[in-house]
Amino acid sequence: MPELKFDKTKCASCKAVSCLVKCQYMNLDRNEAKKEWQKLINGEDSFVLETCTTCYACEEYCPFGNHPFYLIVERQEEKNKLAAPRALIRQWVNMCEPVGKFMVGQVKEQALSFCLIPRLQFLATGKLFEDVAASWIIGAEFFCNAVYLHFSRMSVIKDRLPKVVENISRQGIKELICLHDECYATYNSLAPAYGIEVPFKATHYFEYLYNKLKEFKSDIRPLNIKAAYQRNCSTRLIPDIDHFVDDIFKLIGVTRLEREYDKKNALCCGAIILSLKGYDIGTDVQKRNLDDMVKCGAEYCVFNCPACWDPLAANVAKRGIKPIHMIDLCRLAIGEKPVLEV
């Protein structure tokens, strides 16, 4: 089994304990944070395990890239201090089990990954994808499995991920364009953290879109809109891709609104928090986020992850803001119609 590359000496020298002090759901001062974190390092019990909403943000807060969240998930499973109800864990583990129902297109060295999300296939159409649209993979055999970070099941990730990497490699893929942010995060954060070798290049679809838009620069009609960007949990594992949001927006004339809940202080879609913690916390997160979008004058809310779209898009629309997926936004800028609608 792959093991987490966790360096406790980095934590020993850390004065800020940002992983816990900056947590949006725990109110800890540095001393308390240090004490609780040390318990987790030592393999002792801590209330952190049950309080954690699995927003992933501590991965971004850690200045050493020491993977505090992955350690939390490891400890949750070890101590059986589960983040989620058991029945939901079981459901997810069963639902994404590889059973040979994967599908592939005419796979070439460069291929699109639709993960386990059929609607991504509908998004990857039009001029921006015409060179690569026929080359794709989808199914549990290619599913990144990062979702189990929400379900205290690092063991499932460690068991399934090496096989997934092998399955993708067997297709002869040299560059995998990940249309699901979480897949990119898996191959560029989770896999290295566990020493799992990834023999192909995983490219984030933001980067792909940015390069394609440059190719079609003459087709771009600036949108001249103000947009709130909805960060999803897995972007916390790969904060280095955030600049592509700004780069793309700049190319197509979109203003990324400065608001309270963006960048490091972003709020997630709330769906997982709702499931794991209940109505009050989950809806509070969603309400604060939407209020903030309205307050800062957002005309559009740009989504990265389809899993955020489901619980949030309709509510965004009810507040008078147009929800749009990043791919659709780019499509709009070159005169094509969006695919995903509420």
Partner 1 sequence: MGEVYETLVQIVGKNYVSNHQEERYFYARDPGLMAPHEPDYVVMPKTTEEVQKIIRLANDTKTPVVPKGAGLALTGLVIPLKGGIVVDMKRMDRIVEVNEGARYVIVEGGVTHGVLKAYLQKHYPHLRHSVPESPPISTVVGNVVIHGQGRLTQQYGFHSDMVSGLEVVLPTGEICKIGSCSVSPYWFSKGPPMPDLSGLFLGWLGTTGIITKMSLKLYPQKKLKDVEVFVTDREDLVPDIVFKITHTEMIEDMGIWSQPRPRMFADNYHLNIFFTGDTEEELEFRRKMVWHALQEYIDSKDGGFMQLPPEMKPTFLDNPQKSMSAFADLRKGGGFEYSGPIIPMELYPSFARKAQELGNKYRVVQNASGRVIQQGHCMMFSFAFTFNRANSEEMERCRKALHEAAEFGLEKGAVLWKPTLYEQKMMLRRMDQNTINLMKKIKQLLDPNGIMNPGNWEVE
97 binds partner 1 (CB under 8 A): yes
Instruction: Give the C-alpha distances (Å, rounded to integers) separating 102 from 90, 177, 204, 298.
Output: 21, 17, 22, 39
100 binds partner 1 (CB under 8 A): no
Select 177 or 276, whichever has its Cβ closest to partner 1: 276
- State how far the Cα of 309 lies from the Cα of 317, in Å rounded to an integer: 11
319 binds partner 1 (CB under 8 A): no
- What DSSP character marks residue 228? E
Contact set for partner 1, span 154-183 (CB under 8 A)? none
310 binds partner 1 (CB under 8 A): yes
Contacts of 217 (CB under 8 A, 6+ apart): 251
Helix ranges (DSSP H) in 14-61: 18-21, 30-42, 48-51, 57-61
99 binds partner 1 (CB under 8 A): yes
Where does this chain touch partner 1 (CB under 8 A) — which range of 4-12, 166-174, 180-188, 308-316? 308-316
Structure tokens belonging to residue 59: 């991965």
Is the CB of residue 55 less than 8 Å from the CB of residue 233? yes
277 binds partner 1 (CB under 8 A): yes
**What's the min distance (Å) between Cβ of 271 and partner 1?**
6
Contact set for partner 1, span 65-94 (CB under 8 A)? 82, 84-88, 90-91, 94
197 binds partner 1 (CB under 8 A): no
Contacts of 268 (CB under 8 A, 6+ apart): 55, 231, 232, 233, 285, 308
Q: x/- binding map, residues 225-264, to partner 1, per CB under 8 A?
A: ----------------------------------------
Residues that bind partner 1 (CB under 8 A): 82, 84-88, 90-91, 94-95, 97, 99, 271-272, 274-280, 283, 310-311, 314, 318
